[in-house]
Structures are given as C-alpha cells and as structure tokens.
Structure 1
Amino acid sequence: MHRSRPHCVLLLTLLTLAGAPLAVQARTLRMVTLLYRHGDRAPIDTYPKDPHKDAAWPGGLQQLTQEGMRQQYELGQYLRSRYQDFLSSSYRRQEIYVRSTDYDRTLMSAQANLAGLYPPNSSELWNPEIKWQPIPIHTVPVSQDRLLKFPMKDCPRYHELMEETVQLPQYQDKMDAWKDFIKEIANHTGYSVEGTGPRRAWKVYDTLFCQKTHNLSLPEWATPQVMATLEEISTFEVMSHVGFHKLNEKARLTGGILVDAVLRNFSEVLRRSLPLKMIMYSAHDSTIIALQGALRVFNGRHPPYAACHIFEFYQETDGSYSVSMLYRNTSSSAPYQLVLPGCSASCPLHRFIELTAPVIPEDWGKECHRKDNSSPATERAIIALSALSGLLVLATVTLAVLYGRLRKRYRTM
C-alpha cells in the first residue's frame, strides 16, 4: 500500500478536518502496524574450524528452529490477547495484511505467528484434526525489497556513508583497541587476519551464540570473556550503521523508508475508509534496528528473537489522531512504551509527522546513487574516445563498402 510522496499533506488535511468536535465518546484504536523479528534460528554461517559445522542443524543453516516456531506462536497468542476486542475473532481478510521478507525463516515465522493469532473456530475448521487455517502472506524477491530488507549492495551513497563512518577517530580507536583480540579470533576460527573485522566478528559471535542456546559444546577458547568482547564488537558494528555519522541521511536510505510506509498506509485507510485494522511485517533484527534508529528510539541492544515493535493509531475524543509505540522484547513482561524524541508517549499524529519528516526520503533512487564526480579532463577524454570510436566505425563501414564493390567488379570481368 504505497502512494505518492504528498501523503503527509493529505494526512495533515484529514487530521485538520477531523479536529472539529465529533460524536466520539471515547479514545478509539483505529489501526495497528507491527514489525517483528523472526524466531530462533540456526546460525547464518559457520567458521572454517567450527567443530560442529552445519551437520548440527537438521533444518539447515539460517533456518527457523522448532523453538523459533514456538516463540512466534506465543507472540501470535499475545497479539490475540491484546487485540481481542479490536480484531474479529475469526479471520477476515479485509482486516489484516501480512508481508514478509523472502526468507524461509521469516515466512515460517509469519505462519507460526498467524496460527497463534487466528486459531480456527468451529466454522473455520476445514480439517477437524488440524487446529490451523491458511492465511495469505505476501512477499517480494529480496533483490526488489526496499521496505524490509535494506540496501547493502545496490545503494552507493549508503556505502559512501559507511566508508566515511569507519574513518572517524572514534571508530578507528575502537578498532585499534580490538586489534590483538581480532587476530586471536582469526587464529582460532581459521579466518585470515586481513579479512577479519567487525562484520566477521559478528558472524563468529552469532554462530557461538546459536550453539550455546541449543546446548552445543563451545570450543575452549570461547570463554565468557571472549563471548562478552565479541558481543561488544557486534553491538558496535550495529551502531555504526545507524549512528555516529550523518544519522538522518543514513535513516533516509534505510529505516525512514519503513516509517514513510507506516504513515502512508494509515493515510490510505483514513482516505478510503478501509476496514483494514492491522498490518504485520515479518522481518529481521536489522529491520527493527533501522526502524528504531530512524525514530531515535533504538536502545543499542540487539533485538532478540520475536522482538516486536508496535505502532497503535488512535482517534481521540476530540476527533484528532495520535500514535503510540510499544516494544515487546521479552515474553516474560508486558511491552514497554517508546517515546519519539520531542513528543509524548501518546504523540499527536501531526507532530509525529513533523518530527519524522527529516528521515523520510523524497526520492530514494536519486538519494541512493553517487553524484557524478568526474573531472572536466575525464569528461574531455571520454568525448575524445567516443569521437575516435565513431571514426573507426565509419572507416570500417567505408572499407566494407569498397571491398564489396571490388568483388562485384571482379566477378563481372
């Protein structure tokens, strides 16, 4: 559900019209948008000297585990409990839209979540032995996903920003402090020292974390201190992508895209009086980090499995609209409130739009591509080469014509 950029103007107009006293008796929940991380999974990769390799994971690397399925099912049950008076007790396709990134673990997480959110009632039981009903989940290829899988490969400007970030003194100081530690990790894991940096340290940590979670033995060198340092490096790596340098511009190329979509969708629901009540996004820790980084509410901690960021849109008693944000990062306690800097917990929607405007891209494609840095001398060289190529082509054609005429004349003799 995406429209043209002027959605903020339209939404502000709708909010102004709604500001007049209406026959609204109480604060009313109008729409919910939520983004969650997939459930527990196998490691993304293994390292060369990993004693377990991928044989330890029956479902395969990167795949959702049974524990991950249980986590998502429990999240779905929580959402049913929280929104039992908002969503219909039976599945209604007009009320919910579900989108996932095109990965097995996120698609399966969405399926498990929906099983907990919409347990079939008697009329929905298509097979009495299966307490489950199919619900549509939408996706697009990873290479085309600009909403939930942020540009790491095809956004030159983002790479420029990261190159600038790693040159900062605060970044270089950290790398110098970890230099000897990273050499040791390279030796233990079998990676080359030159190729071992923060990103690879994160992969090693991820592998060890997954193995520890699933009660697999860790190598002797993976002491609690080593694990703590790897986690510290991983956290620093995450922060470098959303902080330290040109925060708004980074956000415009990543999490701001999703902030924009959340506002666009609510604008569309109001404009067209749609019955849509919930939009559900099944994605990754990186998606949550980018979103919360753009909103300036990221706490610096890695989102755990099944972490869920919630937007709740309300119509107030005076007819105006507000938005509240919640974050559920554990099943042992209720989600806690997130407050957009510069606003209140229940943020008036027009204020929310104003505060997030700097992180919403006007034209992502234009903002993402490198500026033309070619010098006048380079441009002249390109023009000269083009002219020379043209002359060569012309000479080739002329010779071909002459050769053809000579052959024709020779044959007629």
Structure 2
Amino acid sequence: MLRRLVFSAFAAGTAAPSADNSRPAGASNGRVPNDLAPCERSVRKDAPELVQVILVMRHGYRTPLYGFGSLESLDWQCLSPEETESIFSQIDLYRVKPSSYIEEEKCRVGPEVLDVASFRKAVVGFGNCFSGQLTRLGHQQMSALGQKLRRHYVDFLNFLPSEWDARQFFVRSSSIRRNVESAFEVIRGMYPKSRENVAIHLYSPKEENIYFDNTCKTLRQLFLEFRYPGGINAEKRQWGPLFEASDFKDVSEYQSWSRLSPPALCNKLWTIFAHNLPFPQGITPESVVKACELSGKYHGELLSDPLVCKLGIGRLLKDIVQHLQYKISTRSIDGSEPANGDWSPRLVLLSGHDSTLAPLLQTLKLSKGIHPTMGSVIAFELWAQKSQPEPTYFVKVMYNFEDMIIPECNNQIMCPWNDFFELTKSKIPQDYDLECHLPKASV
C-alpha cells in the first residue's frame, strides 16, 4: 500500500503521499495498467481552434546512469540487441540546424552519433541492460503515452490526422539513445498501423539546447556558487540525513547513496521503485518521497536565479517561440493552411530530460520547484479565435495534461500570443556565446 501511495503522489506532481491510489503507466506492479482514459474536456461551438501543439517530454523509465553495490544485481529488463536493431531500422536520423525544418535542410546520420562519450564511459552491467538504457517497461510507458495523445488530439479534439502524415509532425531529440527510442515509441503509440519510418532530428553537440550546456562559463560559475558553501548543502543540513548509516550493509554503500545530488538520488530511487525492484538494504519507500521532495527543492532554489534559467533553457524556449511564431506567420487570415509551399507542422515533439522540463516550468513561473518524473510532458498549445480583420492567437500550457495558470500573463490559462511573446523576451539570451563568457554582473 505504501508503494502505491508514494507513486500516486508523484504521478500527480505533488511532493507528499496522498490517499489517491491511482498510478501512472508502469506503476509499482511493473506493468502498464489500462488507466489512460481520454482527457475529459468540453469544447464549445465558439471555442478557439487548435492550430499547433509543441510537446516537451522527458524520456521513459531507464536504468540508473551508473551503479554501485547491489544496484547492478537487480533484475533490470531491456530489449534485446535484435529488438533494438529492429527499432532503429524504423527510424531515420537527421542532423539539423536550429529551426531548419522550415527550409527542410537536413543531413542523414546513423545511430553511431548517439550517446556522447561520457555516457559510453559510464556503461556498467545491469542485467541485460547498460547504464541509462530505456527499459522494456520504459518502452511500454512511452507507447502508452502515445496512445493517450492519440485519444486526446486525434479522437477527441479531431486535431491530428487519423492516419500518419509525416508532414504534420516534427520530432527532435537529444542525442541520447533512450530519448530517441522514447520519441519513436510515442509516435508508434499514436500511429501503430503506420509502416513509414519516423524521422527524428538531432542538433549538433555545439548547438544542443535541450539541456544545460556545461561549456557555458557563466552557467558553471552559477552552479558552483549554488553548491558551495551554501545552496543545496544548506538544504541537506536543513532536512537532516536521508539515511541512517547503521541501516546499510556496509559504510561504502551508505557513502555511495548519501553523496548523490538530490536529482540523481531521486532518479535512481524512482526507477527502482517504478520497476517494482527491491530496494537495497537501508532504503525504504519513504526514502523515495523524501529524496524527490528534496530534488524539487533543489530545482526550485537553483532555478530561482533568472540567469540560470536564461542561459540554461532560454535557447530552447526561443525554439519553442519560433515554432509558434512561424505557424502564425504561415497561416492565411481566414485560418486556412498555406498553398504557396510554406509549411509548419501541427505537432512538434521534443524529447528531453528532467533538466529540460524543470527549468522550462520554472522560467515561466509555472512551478516553484518540481522534479519531473520520467515520462512527464509539457504541452504548449497554440489556439486561434476567429476575429476581424484576422484571427487572435492564444497560448495554453499543460503539464501532464493539466492546464497551467500562467502567472506572468495575468494568471490566465489562455494567454494572448502577444503577451506570451513579450513575457518570453527577457528569458531568452540575445547573444548566448557572449553572455556565457561575460562576468555574471555584466549579463
């Protein structure tokens, strides 16, 4: 029962157990339950028309990024090499420049570009898996997310086509294998009958903006100032010890767990919990709650500095704004799709990480600190209201299918496009390379 309560708390995006026994896909029984009912939303006849959706999601359940002690002996289950090869035979990978889908400029690349060198070095044994790999349960979880998106955007809103039409979609992922596979599973979950390959686009390592750039000197300085001497160390002291050394089988295992950063600790415990695997001696379900609450606090404190958000996720926010802006610019005044060759997709899918979703939520002041669990998704919806002389556009944001109030837009859910555009200006770096090498006070 306690496992179920813990899972329910974080499925709802809260930081403490609740009495609700509902569980997300891949709950503690290690299976994907049939709990993905269509979203219940009434649509009035005079309601605005949905014209574009940008989904920013976190990858599905994975193995830990690195292991120690008893972690590697747990029964992790992943796809076989043959199954993985079959998936990649259905994916076309392309290297693109930021926003280059507009000109359709892209270069075909192979799977060998995935997983940066640092991740290759971290590979350790996890049953039949490697570190950071999307597990079999993670594949099922993301396919279930795709099915829910289909029910919502195809069956319920009649927004996306019932049959796969590649021109209506743009999919981009970080160059990490689990993210590419997660994006593929979402699309296949939405369109299981399609036999066309799925095009997934990647930025070069230098241009990647879907997570924090560790080459940005100003950002590194801000991280160091946060961590030492106060910051999260002070938070840890405030919370007290998460574990008792005497509960562990040896001192080295206790030290391995206690030295982890709050996000790393939450991720490691959460994935053990989600797969219904036994906790190591000294770890309890209460540890999951406490660690993930602390991780939310960590994100809240770190991202309370607008400069961290601006340099950390501002370039991705710029991409999102440009997608929306281009969609508006290519629509006719009467709302029809352009006939002159201009094109923009109906759905943009961006496959990222917890370090993608947390700062996006915080920079728009949609959260004061949350740890986005694996499989979480932010939706930016662009709506058009017929008016004269031309349509009026609005942006709505949802987190895990729940409408979000936008504080900087007069606490509205439907934020007028011009207001949304204006509130994002200060959150986007004007000259990223320059601002990353200036003293903090000059930025």
CA distance in 1 between partners of 2:297 and 2:259 (Å): 12
Larger deviation, residues 103-112 vs 56-65: 56-65
Cα distance change, pair 306–186 in 1 and its aligned pair in 2 (3 A): same
Correspondence for 1:134 among 197, 216, 219 = 197
Quote the offset at 1:205 in angstroms. 4.4
Of 90, 113, 119 in structure 1, the residue corresponding to residue 163 of structure 2 is 90
Following superposition, the deviation at residue 77 of structure 1 comes to 1.4
Instruction: Name structure 1 gaps, 5 residues minimum.
Output: 1-23, 125-131, 329-334, 374-413
Is residue 206 from structure 1 mapped to residue 279 from structure 2 by the alignment? Answer: no
> Aligned-pair distance for 1:214?
2.3
CA contact (8 A) 1:361 1:367 kept: yes
Partner of residue 374, structure 2? 305
Does 1:60 pair with 2:122?
no
Shift of 1:49: 6.1
Residue number among 218, 232, 238 corresponding to 2:299 in the alignment: 238
Q: State the 1:191 CA deviation.
A: 6.9
Kindly report which structure 2 residues correspond to 1:357-396, keeping only aligned pairs within 5 A, or say none.
357-371=425-439
Pair 160,106 (structure 1): closer, same or farther in 2 beyond 3 Å: same
Post-superposition Cα deviations, 1:187-234, rounded to whole Å, max 9, x if no partner, equal 9562796996452x5434433332333233223211345444433433
In structure 1, the partner of 2:217 is 156
Equivalents in 2 of 1:112, 1:312: separation in Å? Answer: 22
Q: CA deviation at 1:180?
A: 5.7
Which structure has the larger Rg over C-alpha atoms?
Answer: 1
Aligned residues of 2:395 and 2:414 also touching (Cα < 8 A) = yes
SS of residue paired to 2:51: strand
Q: For structure 2, list consecutive stretches of 5 or more residues without a partner in the other structure.
A: 1-44, 75-123, 332-342
Question: Taking structure 1 as reference, are residues 372 and 34 closer, same or farther at Cα in structure 2, changes over 3 Å only?
Answer: closer
C-alpha displacement of 1:133: 3.6
Q: CA separation of 1:240/1:146 partners in 2, compared to 1, >3 Å: closer, same or farther?
A: farther
User: For the Cα contact (< 8 Å) 2:171–2:350, is it kept in 1?
Assistant: yes
Structure 2 partner of 1:384: none
Q: 1:267 and 2:325 equivalent?
A: yes
* Aligned position for 2:309: 251
1:190 to 252, 256, 279: 252
Q: For residue 324 of structure 1, give the secondary structure of its aligned residue in structure 2.
A: strand
Report the alpha carbon displacement of residue 354 of structure 1 after superposing the two structures with TM.
1.7
Question: Which is helix-richer, 1 or 2?
Answer: 1
Please identify, of 224-233 and 283-292, the stretch whose mean Cα deviation from structure 2 is larger: 224-233
Provide the TM-score with structure 1 as the length reference: 0.71
* 8 A contact 1:289–1:303 mirrored in 2: yes
- Indicate the larger mover: 75-84 or 176-185: 176-185
* Mapped partners of 1:148, 1:139: distance in 2: 10
Over 3 Å counting, the alpha-carbon distance change for 1:207 and 1:195 in structure 2 is closer
Q: What residue in structure 1 maps to residue 177 of structure 2? A: 104
Query: Please, which moves more after superposition, 231-240 or 73-82?
Result: 231-240
CA, structure 1 residues 315+177, in 2 after alignment: closer, same or farther (shift >3 Å)? closer
Match of 1:305, SS? coil
Q: Deviation per CA, 1:20-48, whole angstroms, max 9, x where unpaired?
A: xxxx9762211111111111111111125
1:337 corresponds in structure 2 to: 403
Between the aligned partners of 1:60 and 1:160, the Cα distance in structure 2 is: 32
- TM-superposed deviation, 1:110: 0.8
Worse overlay, 209-218 or 175-184: 175-184
Deviation, structure 1 residue 135: 1.4
The equivalent residue for 1:119 is 192
Corresponding residue of 1:146: 208
* Cα separation, 1, equivalents of 2:175 and 2:248: 32
Q: What is the percentage of aligned positions where both structures have the same residue?
A: 24
